[in-house]
Amino acid sequence: MILSTKITYSVRALAYLARHAPEEGFLSLTQVANGEGISLNYLAHLFSRLRARGVIESVRGRRGGYRLARPAEEISLQEIIDAVDMGDFLNLNLPPEVEDQSSCRMVTDLLWTGFDHHVRHFLSDTTLASVLEKAA
């Protein structure tokens, strides 16, 4: 499975915010973009979606910028994916429902459904903080 660039860059940028944002301060979009090597325009697009979904918050002005809206322990990977990918990120490309009731078709449907369930459970239980802990 390959995660989209939107997901990968969003997790990286949020991890950067979690590690580098001052306790009560904000980081500029430019600081985050330069720190993670992400295009400024692309990051602005991602941060717009993340802000709309309440993952990050922003303040305008000279001392403004972005920070996490909640502690990293409260932000799941599933929440990040839902905010930026805006769709079924797994996109298993299952064929539409058909009349085929063969045992082979039923087994493959069962396998993909189980896989989807486990991945979504993992993403819901994995927080930004736990990702940072594993990376340290």
Question: What range does the domain containing 61 cover?
Answer: 5-135
Give residue-wise pLDDT tens across range 8-53: 999 999 999 999 988 778 999 999 999 999 999 999 999 999 999 9
Supply angle C-alpha 104, 107, 108, rounded to 5: 85
Give 95 or 51, the one with higher predicted confidence. 51
Return the percentage of the chain with pLDDT > 90, whole number: 62
Fill in the DSSP letter of residue 62: T
pLDDT value at 82 more than 60: yes
The per-residue pLDDT of the chain, averaged, comes to: 87
Output the pLDDT for position 14: 97
Higher local confidence (pLDDT), 14 or 115: 14
What is residue 74's predicted lDDT score, i.e. its pLDDT? 97
Task: Report pTM.
Answer: 0.83
Tell me which H or E stretch contains 99: none
Sign of CA dihedral 82, 83, 89, 94: positive
- Which of helix, strand or coil describes residue 2? coil
Give the domain CATH number at 39.
1.10.10.10
Q: What is the pLDDT of residue 27?
A: 95
Q: What is the number of domains present in the chain?
A: 1
